[in-house]
Amino acid sequence: LGRYILVASVVLFVVTTAIGNSFNGLQSFNALTRYRGVQIYITAIVAICFFAALMPVPLVWEMADTMMFLAAVPNIVGLLILT
C-alpha cells in the first residue's frame, strides 16, 4: 500500500509542478509580449513535454541541469552587481 501512495504522490507532484511552471512561464511571456503569440507558447510547451517524455531520462536530466544553470546566471550577475 505504501508503495502505491508514494508513486501517486510523486506523479501528482510532477504533474502539478509542470502545470505550475508552465503557467508561470505563460504569465511572464504575456507580460513581455502583451498577449501576442500565446498560442505559439502553449504549442511549444505541449511539444516540449511530449518530446521530453520520449527522451532517455539521463538526457532530460542533463537538459534540465543546463536550463537551471542558464536561469541562475542572470541572478548571479545581479548579486555580483549588488555587492
Does pTM surpass 0.85? no
What is the separation of C-alpha 17 from the centre of its chain, rounded to a whole number of angstroms?
8
Mean pLDDT (the chain) is: 95
Report whether 52 contacts 60 (CB < 8 A): yes
Q: Which residues contact 30 (CB under 8 A, 6 or more apart)?
A: 38
Q: What is the pLDDT of residues 34-55, one digit of tens each?
A: 999 999 999 999 999 999 999 9
Radius of gyration of the chain (CA): 16
* C-alpha distance from residue 53 to each of 5, 44, 60, 71 (Å): 22, 14, 9, 22
